[in-house]
Copies of this chain bind each other. A is one copy, B any other.
Amino acid sequence: MQDSLDSESPWKASADRQTEREAKRVAVLRTAARAFNEMGYHNTSLDDIARRLNVTKPTIYYYVRNKEEILFECVRIGLEMLDEASNDVSGHDGSTYDELIAVMRKYAEIVTMDFGMCVIRVGEEPLTEESRRTLRSLKRSIDRKFRRLIERGIEEGSIAPCDPKIAAFTVAGALSWIARWYQPNGGLSAHDIAGQCIDLLMNGLGKAASSGDGRPPT
């Protein structure tokens, strides 16, 4: 009885209001990330973001304090998505080799999405030293996970012996670069690009794999 009375109130329950506010805040951030990715951070004003959302600038200020906070949140969300990519695939039955490929696939997918793309296209550079420090520690966590997977793969014998630090950066670099050149309406889907890029990283550009002697034909 109490419940049904509550649900008929013209005022939303506090929890609902909170959820709605959070959804709108994410919409502001996502629209901003898209604008930053398309036009650049410094060429995007809060007015541009408000216009894209069909609201006024004061409405934006209800959800965020300023442009710096928006960028910080966009990059933080993107980095947390990338950081969680490895959690989502861990614990499955495949080899470390398969697990690495699954994490790479997730990573490539995320950098073609609004927040992930913002990490690469804009990044933390325009922010204060304190904000950058927070975001850089998230980056280190992502890097550590890649390194550990590669280390385990080397121990397991499925990854070629190499310096895990350089291998992790090589993988992250190639996959992150997708965010720089990928065009959502281009000829190639994000899924296909990821697949081909990962194939090149795992098997190499040289024809060594197919000739079987570890050296290209001369």
Contacts and interface: CB of A to CB of B under 8 A. Distances in A.
A67 to B, nearest CB: 12
A214 B206 contact: no
Given A125-B41, A126-B40, A205 B173 contact: no
Given A125-B41, A126-B42, A217 B167 contact: no
A177 B120 CA distance: 11
A202 B212 contact: no
Interface in A113-136: 121-122, 125-126, 129
Interface string A181-214: 1000000100001001101111111111110111
Integer count of this chain's copies in the complex = 2
A44 to B, nearest CB: 11
Interface stretch (A20-28, A58-66, A77-85, A152-160): A152-160
Interface of A: 40-43, 95, 97, 100, 121-122, 125-126, 129, 150, 153, 157-160, 162-163, 166-167, 169-178, 180-181, 188, 193, 196-197, 199-210, 212-214, 216-218
Which 6 residue pairs spanning A and B have beta carbons closest together? A173-B177, A204-B204, A212-B212, A202-B206, A203-B204, A158-B216
